[in-house]
């Protein structure tokens, strides 16, 4: 799949009718060491393309917070069984544009990366316990909260852009006002909170001195 074919695919996806139920946009502030480093906006809604059951998350992020030089656009579609149906990440940075596409295929995850003058593909372990994350698109962590259990759920996190893998245990705790609080341990350590609709409200990763919170 060349750059032109990927570009055509993205245009077709953008032109497809929106079958999912619309939801309000949420704005996030990303801070590291108490300093604003980025901004993110996302929507999380029920349903997928062509009326399929599941959920669709779309997000855009900018770094740094002002006069951004790196912009990201992500789409994650999950099935009604919480499996990965489609993942798409577009990165526009000083190094040039990059498109990462991933989709589940049974116990395997197929990942393709297309950048200026290069293209690569690889298979990675998939399955119902896999979550796709990115170091700069934090609304994706909502999938971790969705799979968390009171006893603690072991998950395999994959970062398609870098190929990094992480093992994490997500333990659901009681929250206030319908919110869900999740404690993360393992390769990723911290806490995350989602609202009653499953949308990220707050994420703390102390090891990275990182805080992601709703914009006021």
Pair of tokens at residue 21: 């139920």
* pLDDT tens digits for range 114-132: 988 888 988 888 888 999 9
Question: What is the domain extent for residue 20?
Answer: 3-214
Query: What is the pTM (predicted TM-score) of this model?
Result: 0.86
CB atoms within 10 A of CB 76: 27
Instruction: Confirm if 82 and 58 have CB atoms less than 8 A apart.
Output: no
Task: Categorize the per-residue pLDDT at 10 as very low, low, confident or very high, splitting at 50, 70 and 90.
Answer: very low
Cα–Cα dist 117/123, whole Å: 21
β-strand pairing of 130-132 with 84-93: unpaired
| Predicted pLDDT of residue 126 | 84
Average pLDDT over residues 45-68: 91
Q: How many domains does the chain have?
A: 1
């Amino acid at each position: 799949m060349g750059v032109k074919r990927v570009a055509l695919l993205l245009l077709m996806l953008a032109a497809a009718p929106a079958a999912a139920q619309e939801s309000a946009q949420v704005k996030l502030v990303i801070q590291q060491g108490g300093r604003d480093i980025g901004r993110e906006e996302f929507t999380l809604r029920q349903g997928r393309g062509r009326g399929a059951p599941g959920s669709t998350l779309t997000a855009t992020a900018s770094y740094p917070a002002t006069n951004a030089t790196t912009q990201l656009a992500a789409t994650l579609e999950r099935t009604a069984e919480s499996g990965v149906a489609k993942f798409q990440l577009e990165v526009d940075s000083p190094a040039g544009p990059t498109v990462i596409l991933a989709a589940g295929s049974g116990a395997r995850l197929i990942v393709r990366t297309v950048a200026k003058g290069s293209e690569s593909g690889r298979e990675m372990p998939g399955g119902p316990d896999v979550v796709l994350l990115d170091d700069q698109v934090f609304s994706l962590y909502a999938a971790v909260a969705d799979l968390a259990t009171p006893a603690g759920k072991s998950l395999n996190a994959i970062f398609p852009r870098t190929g990094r893998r992480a093992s994490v245990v997500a333990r659901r705790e009681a929250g206030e006002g319908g919110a869900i609080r999740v404690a993360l341990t393992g390769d990723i350590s911290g806490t995350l909170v989602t609202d009653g609709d499953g949308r990220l409200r707050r994420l703390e990763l102390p090891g990275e001195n990182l805080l992601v919170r709703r914009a006021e």
